[in-house]
Amino acid sequence: MTNDYDVVIIGGSLAGHYAALAATQLRATVALVESKVNYGFIYHQAINEISNLAQNKDDVAGFGIHSRCSDSSQTCDRYVAWQEAMLYAHGVVSNIQEHNSPAILAAQGVDVIVGNGQFQSSPQLAFIVNNRPLRARTYLLASGSHPAIPEIDGLQATGYLTLSDIWQSLNQRTLAKNWVIIGGIPQSIEIAQTLARLGCSVTLVVKYPYILPHIDPEIAVLLQAQLEVDGVRVLTEKLVTQVRRIEDKKWVQAGDKAIETDEILVATEQQPNLESLNLATVGVKWHQRRLVVNDKLQTTNHRIYACGDVIGGYDFANIANCEARIALKNALFFPRLKVNYRCIPWAIFSQPMLAQVGLTEAQAKRQFNQDEVLVLRQYFKTVAAAQLQDETTGICKLIVLRNGEILGASILGKEAGELINLIALAMSQKITIRHLADLSPVYPSFSEILEQTASEWSKQRLNSNTALQEFLEGFFYFRRNWNL
């Protein structure tokens, strides 16, 4: 029996849409099975942009940001008209939905099938949707994830919001004033800061020693300090043990602290959308909320690939798209490409932004001889562009070997997302720190921080090489007396 498609993509995530369009560009026949796309990420980016504008400008028409002045004191303060702000966010999401609509995908050659389905193994491997078997040479799982809810006494009875439904709840006329966010993932940090900048009282509860377990501790401390400046109360190394509703108020017990709040947001970890796919029948295994895949993104059934947060890890769109690109090419051609997470950057959309690629200082020193690892750092206050824009909060850390190989970078500061892309490109192309130090960026610009930080490499090498210092001193002494 012949196959209907070259690949069937399961899941309407943005990575699934990306893979479907990429497949049509390669002239492959592709079906995309989707139920409903969650645009919560886009909603948050839109509201985050509003909160940033509210911090920096007096009045922004169309965003819901206005100035309110007092005649007696002759002072003005900014406020956000919440319904207007949500109208702006709805407009952004509507435009993006239109670009990813079934009609647009179909016009590009994608066979879009709306509905839920499951795998069958006999008489041959197929994915069944609406009683229709979709047969393909390969399949790509891009079904995304949903919030995993921790077992906390009283949480279900009291009520809570998640990353999936928070934006629907924000369609109300007014924004809840008091929030407790049970966090520990990038989105919890972003939302905590956004709500605080919109005038809410926010407590972020994290079970780890730092606000995130996988970032450089030095960076984590600076980001936490910024959150606290913005009004977020951060409680680290605290477990939420119980939740109660007392007289129309919600109470959260975090460690030894009882916190009264209007709303609770649970943003701890995600769980892959796998339950209804009948994966066990076709030999696809998963372990502790992670789909088992190899470095070619094949599952334990070699004809079924996976990408995005369905395989676990943080939910970052650029990482999901990179995985989709590699998995798709392996699925359509020969499985030879391997995913290299070392050179894929990621970022947290905080203010200032945090971005990271490769190894942190601690990770590098565990993998290599500590004497071979150099840590280069520079602060944004040394950059002219940062001074001009009053964006001096930030640090750039580059982790390199003595031979100049770049192992990783962590940047907290203005334009960190753009800067980390340059470091990621340098790492992927094996450009050494010496060449990065020769960068002559536009002045003034934030790229100057990369040149300054990279220049620390030659300084550190010189300071640790006594013989070279003595040679240079002798050489220039000789030069100074050459014509005497």
Q: Which residues are annotated as a binding site?
A: 117, 183-190, 309
Pairing label, strands 145-148, 269-272: antiparallel
- Adjacent-strand bridge partners of 132: 129
Alpha helices in 213-345 (DSSP H): 217-229, 317-332
CA 439 to chain centre: 27
Alpha helices in 294-437 (DSSP H): 317-332, 361-367, 384-388, 416-428, 433-437
Which residues line the annotated binding site for NAD(+)?
183-190
* Alpha-carbon distances of 483 from 361, 473, 476, 480, rounded to whole Å: 49, 18, 13, 8
Task: Give yes or no for a contact between 45 and 349, defined as CB atoms under 8 angstroms apart.
Answer: yes
Beta-strand (E) ranges in 131-183? 132-134, 136-141, 145-148, 161-162, 178-182
Nearest to 113 by CA among 101, 97, 124, 102: 102
Spatial CB neighbours of 227, under 8 Å, sequence gap ≥ 6: 189, 192, 193, 196, 204, 211, 234, 350
Spatial CB neighbours of 132, under 8 Å, sequence gap ≥ 6: 113
Task: Give yes or no for a contact between 173 and 50, defined as CB atoms under 8 angstroms apart.
Answer: no
- Adjacent-strand bridge partners of 375: 399
Spatial CB neighbours of 424, under 8 Å, sequence gap ≥ 6: 343, 344, 345, 357, 358
Cα–Cα distance measured from residue 371 to residue 433, given in angstroms and rounded to the nearest whole number? 17
User: Considering all CA atoms of the chain, what is the largest pairwise distance in Å, rounded to the nearest integer?
Assistant: 96
Which residues line the annotated binding site for FAD?
117, 309
